[in-house]
Homo-oligomer: A and B are copies of this chain.
């Protein structure tokens, strides 16, 4: 709570922070391409562009924010290490960034996280602590750990450095769309705590104010869409489950919602069947491996929940860290 109250007074990043993050990330991150998707153009009557952040280092966009946060720590704090809690993509991003920057990392992960995410996090040299998603408070575990070790807690979204790192996607989107001669009418991005969208929104609304922004969330976890509609931070019903393991945070972040409330135009929610259909479409037509949470913008488009006709629409596909079994089950479900 003390942490939350502090956040109320923190200033969100500006364009200069996002540009600084982009410069720091250039030597270590992937500038993911902005790809045409002709099959989607034919289906929607629009021009659809794909930003595949699954091609990012660690298989998701989370590396951007994590690296930008850890590189911003002074050398002494970095040496004392970092602690994070995450269902998996932030875990891998923090672990890989910490390894590159020489900081020891401990990551608190739910025991039911996809095994690919747990294995990869260990593969980047981090220590992994598993907790029970229903019975334990990951924030409390991580905060206590950080306090005990004198380490820095790297929050998944409610941190200006994290938001600035994710905002580099927005910078790239605007520049790449311009290079294609296709200014963006609409950008859809997956949303959990809201850091990806907050960063993108700061960059995109600054450089291209006419571009509309929509979050894409799983049904049952559409707290950001409902919060944007009501103007206050709504919570999801507790105990829910989703195939979108990366998008299960209970409520928008404090800082991220302050940004998104001002800059984001709304949100859509997609069903599990729509997510599976999008994963199968990405396999067949885009040749991309997309994890469930990363596929929500494509799911929304394919389900007709967004009208792309006559517009240039970019979809941020945020990650591809999906277990083989979950991937196969999704392809199977999409046939049914």
Contacts and interface: CB of A to CB of B under 8 A. Distances in A.
Interface string A28-49: 0010110110100000000000
Given A30-B36, A35-B30, A283 B324 contact: yes
26 contacts: A30-B35, A30-B36, A32-B33, A33-B33, A35-B55, A36-B57, A38-B57, A54-B287, A55-B286, A55-B287, A59-B287, A116-B284, A283-B289, A283-B324, A283-B327, A284-B324, A287-B288, A287-B289, A287-B290, A287-B320, A288-B288, A288-B289, A289-B289, A324-B331, A328-B328, A328-B331
Nearest to A289: B287
A52 B286 CA distance: 12
Interface of A: 30, 32-33, 35-36, 38, 52, 54-55, 57, 59, 116, 283-284, 286-290, 320, 324, 327-328, 331
- Which 3 pairs show the lowest CB-CB distances between chains A and B? A287-B320, A33-B33, A287-B289
Nearest to A119: B284
Contacts of A289: 283, 287-289
A275 B36 CA distance: 28
A248 to B, nearest CB: 21
Nearest to A327: B283
Contacts of A38: 57
Contacts of A290: 287
A55 B282 CA distance: 11
A264 to B, nearest CB: 27
A286 B287 CA distance: 11
Contacts of A36: 30, 57
Given A116-B284, A283-B324, A284-B324, 17 more contacts: A30-B35, A30-B36, A32-B33, A33-B55, A36-B57, A38-B57, A52-B287, A55-B286, A55-B287, A283-B289, A287-B289, A287-B290, A287-B320, A288-B288, A288-B289, A289-B289, A328-B328
A43 to B, nearest CB: 12
A284 B327 CA distance: 11
Nearest to A181: B27
